[in-house]
Amino acid sequence: MESPTPTLDRVAGPADLKALSDAELGLLAIELRQETIETVSRTGGHLGSSLGVVELTVAIHAVFNTPLDKLIWDVGHQCYPHKIITGRRDRMGTLRQKDGLSGFTKRSESDYDPFGAAHSSTSISAALGFAVGREMGMAVGDTIAVIGDGAITAGMAYEAMNHAGHLKERLFVILNDNDMSIAPPVGAMSAYLNGIADKGPLAALKAAAEGFEAALPGPVRDGARRARALVTGMPGGGTLFEEFGFSYIGPIDGHDMGQLLATLRAAKMRASGPVLIHCVTVKGKGYAPAEGADDKYHGVAKFDVATGVQVKGKSNAPSYTQVFGETLTAEAARDPRIVAITAAMPGGTGLDIMAARFPARVFDVGIAEQHGVTFAAGLAASGMRPFCAIYSSFLQRGYDQIVHDVALQKLPVRFAIDRAGLVGQDGATHAGAFDIGFLANLPNFTVMAAGDEAELVHMMATAAAHDEGPIAFRYPRGEGAGVELPARGARLEIGRGR
């Protein structure tokens, strides 16, 4: 019987892509997308983000010479196609399982994963480090960072671009602009990327991108026009990225293999300093259930490929996240001083429940945990009662702000710490292993851990009424114990636990 993936079967590693024609690379992308869908249907995982970069993955590996050239995926949750064509195809069935492949990039797993990732906005800094290492004699070729439009809202990305523009080292940054991180991107940067329809046409594209927009299919062409504001800025001005010292190419269709190959080849041939290539893509591309879902199947359980229906657990117990969201909404109904802050995870933290009822009192600051913590501190100092809901492993990113802006000032910020403890398939990068250690040693801090969902309700009532200093309550990922929930939480005695 003929293989359904004849082109993919010829690829044992990226070197094999060099022997394929451009047309064959297009066929490879089709087969790679289907292989990714089939794999994730059996294992669960991050599907939508991986489907959005299939063509980009093939094009990068076809043009550059990995692993000498260092390809760094920001977050790494979109790396499944990359893993399939870098010698790990036969192990994809072990994805996100004990002793199996990581759901993110991992240095110990493959030479094609030069830098581990699972949290956002680190790729440009790491790529610049590799580039400087190359200039100082290390065995490094070109460096390529692929960063999403959600991840590029974080301050660290701009710190890295500012430094890269100063050093002027040869470096490639690919902006994967699908206008959709886990939640819709927020803030002024998102408006900069999105609000371009009235800015007028671009006077002159870089040579490699000339004429691309007119050839795009309708929906993608509209996205490119939106993205073009990034290029033009105000009349007579350059792009924000050019102000940082980058050469800008784009926007281009991230699903058109011909455009991708032409652009990457031209950039590789001509670049002398830092280059930013702006690709417009569709999260969940090529799989209708993912494209039609609100979250584009960002993270999925095992599912039926034909229907897209996910296999859910049979327990009727609510998740701790759901209990948090519903309880906070009830507390907010009783106390107008209660507000909530999330860092780009309204659904993941359960704050979408409160946002549906009190939208003006829920603040999504984007992927900016440091700002979120200090913003909450300012709210507390003003007399409000802020609940800062951030995953345990993500809260690490705001530690200086927790120390300096919250604890030392004895400000009553309430930290709701989701995903505390072990997190199953997400692995070590997402495990809430350190929050007790890094919070309990701080002055003025109260730290609580819920033994079941009923205790969580009581701890939230305790936190809401606690104005004497910062207080945190931690709870695990997943379903509760199924205990009966109280109608309303009661304040606990601080210092007594079990």
Q: Are residues 216 and 355 in the same domain?
A: no
- The verdict on whether 474 is a catalytic residue reads no
Total domains present in the chain: 2
In the DSSP assignment, the letter for residue 8 is G
Q: Are residues 412 and 336 in the same domain?
A: yes
Rounded distance, CA 13 to CA 213, Å?
Answer: 32
In a domain, 260, yes or no: yes
- pLDDT value, residue 201: 27
Q: Are residues 22 and 107 in the same domain?
A: yes
- pLDDT value, residue 220: 53
Q: Are residues 284 and 348 in the same domain?
A: no
Q: Are residues 375 and 246 in the same domain?
A: no
Check whether 209 has a pLDDT greater than 50.
no
Q: Are residues 284 and 324 in the same domain?
A: no
Query: What pTM did the predictor assign?
Result: 0.83
* Helix, strand, coil % in the chain, rounded to nearest 5: 45, 15, 40
Of the residues 33, 96, 228, 283, only one is catalytic, namely 283
3-state SS assignment for residue 58: helix
Of the residues 169, 369, 453, 455, only one is catalytic, namely 369
Query: 54-63 and 257-270 are packed helices; what angle lies between their axes, rounded to 10 degrees?
Result: 40
Region at 121 (left for phi over 0; alpha for psi -120 to 50; beta for the rest): left
Tokens of 243: 């102000």
Q: Are residues 43 and 189 in the same domain?
A: yes
In the DSSP assignment, the letter for residue 426 is G
Q: Are residues 124 and 206 in the same domain?
A: yes
In a domain, 479, yes or no: no
Expressed as residue numbers, the domain containing 55 is 8-292
Residue located via tokens 């109280």:
486
Check whether 199 has a pLDDT greater than 90.
no
Give the best-scoring range by mean pLDDT among 294-298, 299-303, 438-442.
438-442
Rounded distance, CA 465 to CA 459, Å?
Answer: 10
Mean of the pLDDT values across residues 77-81? 94
3-state SS assignment for residue 248: strand
Q: Are residues 281 and 326 in the same domain?
A: no
- The verdict on whether 498 is a catalytic residue reads no
Any alpha helices (H) in 271-313, and if so which ranges?
A: 288-292
pLDDT, one tens digit per residue, over 362-372 is 999 989 999 99
In a domain, 495, yes or no: no
pLDDT, one tens digit per residue, over 375-396 is 999 999 999 999 999 999 999 9
In a domain, 311, yes or no: no
- Contact status, residue 275 vs residue 171, Cβ threshold 8 Å: yes
In a domain, 138, yes or no: yes
Q: Are residues 456 and 372 in the same domain?
A: yes
Residue located via tokens 């993955």:
57
- pLDDT value, residue 189: 43
In a domain, 111, yes or no: yes
Q: Are residues 287 and 326 in the same domain?
A: no
- pLDDT value, residue 202: 27
Q: Are residues 216 and 348 in the same domain?
A: no
CATH number at residue 142: 3.40.50.970
- The verdict on whether 302 is a catalytic residue reads no
pLDDT, one tens digit per residue, over 404-462 is 999 999 999 999 999 999 888 888 888 899 999 999 999 999 999 999 999 999 999 99
Cis amide bond preceding 346, omega within 30? no
H or E element at residue 240: helix 240-243
In a domain, 1, yes or no: no
In a domain, 245, yes or no: yes
Of the residues 33, 228, 397, 474, only one is catalytic, namely 397
* DSSP per-residue string spanning 434-478: SHHHHHHTSTT-EEEE-SSHHHHHHHHHHHHH--SS-EEEE--SS
